Amino acid sequence: VMLEGLGGDTPVIEVSAKAGKNIKELLELILLVSDLHQNTDISKLENEKLNAVVIESKLDTRSGPLATVVIKEGTLFVRDEIICEGQEGKVRSLVNDKGQRMQSATVGEAVEVLGFEKAPAVGGIVLKKSEIEQALRSPRQFGDLQRQSPNVSQVYSQVSQSLNEPS
């Protein structure tokens, strides 16, 4: 642990619970540090490529195909165009485990996605369609896909393989 006074990033404050010294300042410092770290983490997550896994899939008679996905990397937003093993869709709504509608879901969250054309297979990898299109334009990142003139399912499998390779 490197302290702020010694060139690190861990703040130091003198506190005494017995005397009640600097308790309010400690609480303010905790909130400040929390806000700083939270904002940095959120901006990093929004810029990462989406990588999510379908853990449950069903066809609801009222709302249509539903898939519960767990976000492994990146952020999923309402209105994102997504693809899962050939099943395309546009996210119409995201619902968390408490039944609350959300505008976005980040790493570690499980959400129910409404918007697939058909119910995707359990275990399928969910990616943003824009990222697959980007992979077509930049073959260095995902092999020589451009020279092969691939279809969407070939690109999808290549991208999902590259996401699952250890870094």
Give pLDDT, residue 145. 42
Q: What is the pLDDT of residues 105-138, one digit of tens each?
A: 988 899 999 999 999 999 999 999 887 777 666 6
pLDDT at 103 over 70: yes
pLDDT at 82 over 90: yes
pLDDT tier for residue 4 given thresholds of 50, 70 and 90: confident
Under 8 Å between Cβ of 84 and 125: yes
Mean local confidence (pLDDT), 144-166 = 57
Under 8 Å between Cβ of 64 and 114: yes
Question: Any residues with CB less than 8 A from the CB of 143 and at least 6 apart, and which?
Answer: 158
Q: What is the pLDDT of residues 36-67, one digit of tens each?
A: 766 555 555 556 788 899 999 999 999 899 99
Backbone angles phi, psi at 27, to 5 degrees: -65, -40
* Strand partners for 125: 53
Number of neighbours of residue 120 by Cβ within 10 angstroms: 25
Under 8 Å between Cβ of 159 and 127: yes
